[in-house]
Amino acid sequence: MSTLAVTINTQLRVVETFTADEMTTLPASRRSFDNTDFDTRTALSATTTPAVTKWHGKEYEFAAGVVILDLQALANEIGDVVDMVGLELQAIMINNLSTTNTITLDSGVANGYVLTGGAAHDIVILPGSTWEHTFNNQLAQDVDGTHDTLHFIGTNGEDMEIAIVAG
Protein backbone atom coordinates (compact mmCIF):
# COMPACT_ATOMS: atom_id res chain seq x y z
CA MET A 1 0.00 0.00 0.00
CA SER A 2 1.30 3.42 -0.90
CA THR A 3 1.96 6.11 1.70
CA LEU A 4 0.92 9.72 1.44
CA ALA A 5 2.99 12.79 2.32
CA VAL A 6 1.46 16.21 1.65
CA THR A 7 3.15 19.60 1.89
CA ILE A 8 1.02 22.72 1.61
CA ASN A 9 2.85 26.02 1.15
CA THR A 10 1.07 29.35 1.14
CA GLN A 11 3.12 32.44 0.53
CA LEU A 12 2.33 36.11 0.42
CA ARG A 13 5.52 38.13 0.23
CA VAL A 14 5.33 41.91 0.48
CA VAL A 15 8.35 44.03 -0.44
CA GLU A 16 8.14 47.78 -0.10
CA THR A 17 11.06 50.01 -1.03
CA PHE A 18 11.06 53.54 0.35
CA THR A 19 12.60 56.59 -1.27
CA ALA A 20 15.25 58.61 0.47
CA ASP A 21 12.71 61.39 1.05
CA GLU A 22 10.37 58.98 2.83
CA MET A 23 13.00 57.45 5.07
CA THR A 24 15.59 60.14 5.68
CA THR A 25 16.38 58.77 9.13
CA LEU A 26 17.39 55.29 7.88
CA PRO A 27 20.55 54.36 6.01
CA ALA A 28 20.08 53.36 2.35
CA SER A 29 20.59 49.67 3.21
CA ARG A 30 17.41 49.74 5.35
CA ARG A 31 15.07 51.54 2.96
CA SER A 32 13.36 48.33 1.99
CA PHE A 33 10.81 46.32 3.97
CA ASP A 34 10.46 42.60 3.21
CA ASN A 35 7.64 40.85 5.05
CA THR A 36 7.18 37.08 4.92
CA ASP A 37 5.11 36.83 8.11
CA PHE A 38 2.15 35.57 6.09
CA ASP A 39 3.93 32.44 4.85
CA THR A 40 2.67 29.11 6.13
CA ARG A 41 3.82 25.57 5.59
CA THR A 42 1.82 22.51 6.61
CA ALA A 43 3.09 18.96 6.33
CA LEU A 44 0.54 16.15 6.58
CA SER A 45 0.87 12.37 6.49
CA ALA A 46 -0.76 9.28 7.95
CA THR A 47 1.01 9.95 11.26
CA THR A 48 0.26 13.68 11.70
CA THR A 49 -2.73 15.29 13.36
CA PRO A 50 -4.77 15.59 11.31
CA ALA A 51 -3.79 12.45 9.47
CA VAL A 52 -4.22 12.21 5.71
CA THR A 53 -4.66 8.89 3.98
CA LYS A 54 -6.25 9.61 0.60
CA TRP A 55 -6.03 12.20 -2.13
CA HIS A 56 -7.43 12.95 -5.56
CA GLY A 57 -6.06 15.24 -8.22
CA LYS A 58 -7.27 15.69 -11.77
CA GLU A 59 -8.19 18.17 -14.51
CA TYR A 60 -11.89 18.35 -15.35
CA GLU A 61 -13.70 19.86 -18.32
CA PHE A 62 -17.15 21.37 -17.84
CA ALA A 63 -19.86 19.54 -19.79
CA ALA A 64 -23.34 21.06 -19.87
CA GLY A 65 -21.95 23.76 -17.57
CA VAL A 66 -21.29 21.48 -14.58
CA VAL A 67 -18.74 19.18 -12.99
CA ILE A 68 -20.05 16.94 -10.21
CA LEU A 69 -17.54 15.12 -8.03
CA ASP A 70 -18.74 12.19 -5.92
CA LEU A 71 -16.31 11.92 -3.01
CA GLN A 72 -17.23 8.24 -2.72
CA ALA A 73 -16.04 7.43 -6.24
CA LEU A 74 -13.32 9.71 -7.62
CA ALA A 75 -11.63 8.19 -10.66
CA ASN A 76 -8.02 9.23 -10.95
CA GLU A 77 -5.83 9.51 -14.04
CA ILE A 78 -4.80 5.83 -14.00
CA GLY A 79 -8.32 4.49 -13.54
CA ASP A 80 -8.24 3.75 -9.81
CA VAL A 81 -11.24 4.86 -7.76
CA VAL A 82 -10.67 6.85 -4.56
CA ASP A 83 -13.38 6.49 -1.89
CA MET A 84 -13.25 9.11 0.90
CA VAL A 85 -16.17 7.75 2.96
CA GLY A 86 -15.51 8.15 6.69
CA LEU A 87 -12.84 10.82 6.13
CA GLU A 88 -12.85 14.60 6.47
CA LEU A 89 -11.42 16.81 3.77
CA GLN A 90 -8.22 18.34 5.11
CA ALA A 91 -7.16 20.45 2.14
CA ILE A 92 -8.44 21.43 -1.28
CA MET A 93 -7.02 23.44 -4.16
CA ILE A 94 -8.97 24.46 -7.26
CA ASN A 95 -7.39 26.16 -10.27
CA ASN A 96 -9.75 27.90 -12.65
CA LEU A 97 -7.98 27.46 -15.99
CA SER A 98 -10.40 29.78 -17.78
CA THR A 99 -9.21 33.29 -18.56
CA THR A 100 -12.74 34.65 -18.99
CA ASN A 101 -15.30 32.70 -16.91
CA THR A 102 -15.88 32.09 -13.21
CA ILE A 103 -16.40 28.75 -11.51
CA THR A 104 -18.88 28.47 -8.65
CA LEU A 105 -18.73 25.71 -6.06
CA ASP A 106 -22.44 25.32 -5.27
CA SER A 107 -22.61 23.88 -1.76
CA GLY A 108 -26.41 23.98 -1.52
CA VAL A 109 -27.05 20.91 -3.71
CA ALA A 110 -28.46 17.59 -2.52
CA ASN A 111 -25.80 15.57 -0.66
CA GLY A 112 -23.43 18.53 -0.86
CA TYR A 113 -20.22 18.44 1.15
CA VAL A 114 -20.04 21.90 2.72
CA LEU A 115 -16.52 23.35 2.69
CA THR A 116 -17.41 26.42 4.74
CA GLY A 117 -17.78 24.57 8.03
CA GLY A 118 -21.44 25.32 8.62
CA ALA A 119 -24.23 26.68 6.51
CA ALA A 120 -23.97 26.21 2.77
CA HIS A 121 -22.23 29.12 1.02
CA ASP A 122 -21.17 29.28 -2.61
CA ILE A 123 -17.50 29.78 -3.38
CA VAL A 124 -16.73 31.74 -6.55
CA ILE A 125 -13.36 31.23 -8.23
CA LEU A 126 -12.53 34.04 -10.62
CA PRO A 127 -10.97 33.47 -14.07
CA GLY A 128 -7.32 32.45 -13.86
CA SER A 129 -7.52 32.25 -10.06
CA THR A 130 -6.74 29.57 -7.53
CA TRP A 131 -8.77 28.85 -4.42
CA GLU A 132 -7.10 26.79 -1.75
CA HIS A 133 -7.92 26.01 1.81
CA THR A 134 -6.46 23.90 4.58
CA PHE A 135 -9.15 22.82 7.04
CA ASN A 136 -6.85 21.43 9.78
CA ASN A 137 -9.42 18.92 11.03
CA GLN A 138 -12.01 21.66 11.58
CA LEU A 139 -14.82 20.62 9.22
CA ALA A 140 -16.16 17.94 11.56
CA GLN A 141 -18.07 16.47 8.65
CA ASP A 142 -17.12 13.05 7.39
CA VAL A 143 -17.81 12.10 3.81
CA ASP A 144 -20.92 9.89 3.90
CA GLY A 145 -24.00 9.09 1.86
CA THR A 146 -25.58 12.47 2.58
CA HIS A 147 -22.40 14.61 2.45
CA ASP A 148 -20.46 13.43 -0.57
CA THR A 149 -20.86 15.77 -3.54
CA LEU A 150 -18.89 18.76 -4.79
CA HIS A 151 -20.97 20.51 -7.46
CA PHE A 152 -19.24 23.05 -9.71
CA ILE A 153 -20.97 25.41 -12.13
CA GLY A 154 -18.97 26.77 -15.04
CA THR A 155 -19.00 27.24 -18.78
CA ASN A 156 -19.06 24.44 -21.34
CA GLY A 157 -15.59 23.52 -22.55
CA GLU A 158 -13.78 25.33 -19.73
CA ASP A 159 -11.36 23.40 -17.51
CA MET A 160 -10.40 23.32 -13.86
CA GLU A 161 -7.78 21.45 -11.89
CA ILE A 162 -8.57 20.13 -8.44
CA ALA A 163 -6.59 18.46 -5.68
CA ILE A 164 -8.33 17.08 -2.58
CA VAL A 165 -6.64 15.61 0.51
CA ALA A 166 -8.64 13.69 3.14
CA GLY A 167 -8.03 11.81 6.34
CA distance 147 to 56: 17
- The model's pTM is 0.81
50 cis-preceded (ω within 30 degrees of 0): yes
Question: Which domains are seen in the chain, by residue range?
Answer: 5-42 (no CATH), 51-166 (2.60.120.770)
pLDDT of residue 80: 86
pLDDT of residue 87: 94
Could you tell me whether strands 130-134 and 89-96 are parallel, antiparallel, or unpaired per DSSP bridges? Answer: antiparallel
The single-letter DSSP state of residue 30 is: G
pLDDT of residue 117: 65
Task: State which amino acid sits at residue 4.
Answer: L
Residues in the chain: 167
User: First CA to last CA across the chain, in angstroms?
Assistant: 16
pLDDT of residue 152: 95
pLDDT of residue 158: 92
- The residue ranges of the chain whose pLDDT is under 70 are 1, 20, 22-23, 26-34, 117-120, 139-140
